[in-house]
Every structure is written in structure tokens, then in C-alpha cells.
Amino acid sequence: MPEWYRRRGPVAVLTGAGISTDSGIPDFRGPQGTWTANPIAELTSTYQDYVADPKLRERSWIARRDNPAWGAEPNAGHRALVDLERSGRSVRILTQNIDRLHQKAGSTPRKVLELHGNMFEVECVGCAARSTMREALDRVAAGEPDPACRACGGILKSATIMFGQALDPEVLGAAAAAAQVCEVFLAVGSSLQVHPAAGLCEVAAESGADLVIVNNEPTPYDDLATEVIREPISRALPRIVALLTEA
């Protein structure tokens, strides 16, 4: 078996919050994490509570307005994955992030699968109509603390997957297919504790891919990995991409 970085087949990259911390977006479970600093943030992520409690929704709109991700810029980790795609390799990015920094960096949008949705759109829980977060936040700023769907009057939420909600089966199916066909599966900046996204590591390894984990903390899949890398992500990914693309 050659070294994993000498394999020339498709690469799938699962990315979690850790790839965006260098862009100024706090992760969830780390010492500076959103949930650690502000337990209410985790509560607002629970679908059942959100739908049941108008006060919670009002707080959620404020939290969305103040999200540090709005002004965030991609970092060297995101850009390295753009370089990998531009090298001609088949690349799929399966991201747990809702910040769209992969697309902002230049990754081809249809090659980025947003497992947990995105924060730039809102969705009605009644009729599933989509509109922009910008429009919803403009309504909040204009004095509607909990704007309702213009089509049906239903509750609006960000187009993200909250706790208690299933992932989009089409997105998950496409991610599983990418995990099955890849030769190298990079799991980057994810604690690999949230399923079913984390289970994609197992799908890839069972299908014969080399699993390479880049994360500063141990994960439940480290034993399954060909290599575990503890280096900071914005340094590790450019190095890994150089290895994968060298002649």
C-alpha cells in the first residue's frame, strides 16, 4: 500500500468548526466555544424549543444578527482546499459549517455539500418557503422581533439543521456517495461527535479510503485513521495539499 498522499483518486474532505476558528468564528465545544461561553446559544439550536417558544425565537434573531460569521473571511485552510480542486483532483467538501467560507474562498459551490445547511437563508417551518436572511434581519431591525413567513404566516428559522431535525436526505446521500468513492478522506476540524456526519468517516474507511484526521483534540475515529495530525489546520492543510498534488 503506497503512502496515503500518493493515491491519486478522488478526495473527500469533511470540515467542521475547527477550520473556521482562524477566521474568527468560535467553535462550539472548545474552551472559547459558543456553547461554553453562552449556554443559551445551544438552547436556541433545538428545533422543538424554537418552535414552541416565541421569546426564544426573539433571542435567536438577535443572536443571528450578531453572529461573528457575517464579516468573516476565509483563511489558509479554506484556500488550500481551493488549490486542491484547481489542481485537477476530484474533490468534494462535506461541511458541517454554515458559514459558506468554502464557497467564499473559491470552492465550486456544487462541490460543497452543506450537511447542516447555511445561515444565509431562512426557511418557513410551515410551507418550507425560502428567503434571504438579510431580508429577515432587515425586518427585525425595522421592529418585527420574530418575523413570520410572508406566504403562510408560519414560523421562520435559519436554513440550518437544528438539534432535533433530520439532515436533508439528498445532501446526506450525496455525502455518503462521496465518502464511498474517495481514496482519501480528510476529516478536518471536527470533533466527530455529531452524527450522521461523523459516521461518514466509517463509510469511507470501510470502502477502502485512507482516513486522515486533522484535529487538535482526540476523536472517536482516531483508531480507524491512517494518520492523525494535531498541527493547526491553517498550517496543516496547505502542507497536505502540497503532498497530494506534488508530481
> Which residues of the shown chain bind Zn ion in the complex (CB under 5 A)?
124, 126-127, 129, 149, 151-152, 154
Instruction: Choose between 129 and 228: whose C-beta lies nearer to Zn ion.
Output: 129
Minimum separation from the CB atom of position 126 to Zn ion (A): 4
Minimum separation from the CB atom of position 55 to Zn ion (A): 21
Residue-wise DSSP of the chain: ---GGG--S-EEEEE-GGGTGGGT---SSSTT-HHHH-HHHHHTTBHHHHHH-HHHHHHHHHHHHT-GGGG----HHHHHHHHHHHTT--EEEEE--SS-HHHHHT--GGGEEETTEEEEEEEETTT--EEEHHHHHHHHHTT-SSPBPTTT--BEEEEE--BT-PPPHHHHHHHHHHHHH-SEEEEES--S-STTTTTHHHHHHHTTPEEEEE-SS--TTGGG-SEEE-S-HHHHHHHHHHHHH--
Minimum separation from the CB atom of position 234 to Zn ion (A): 40
Instruction: Choose between 52 and 152: whose C-beta lies nearer to Zn ion.
Output: 152
Instruction: Choose between 129 and 242: whose C-beta lies nearer to Zn ion.
Output: 129
Clarify whether 102 is annotated catalytic.
no
Known catalytic residues are 116
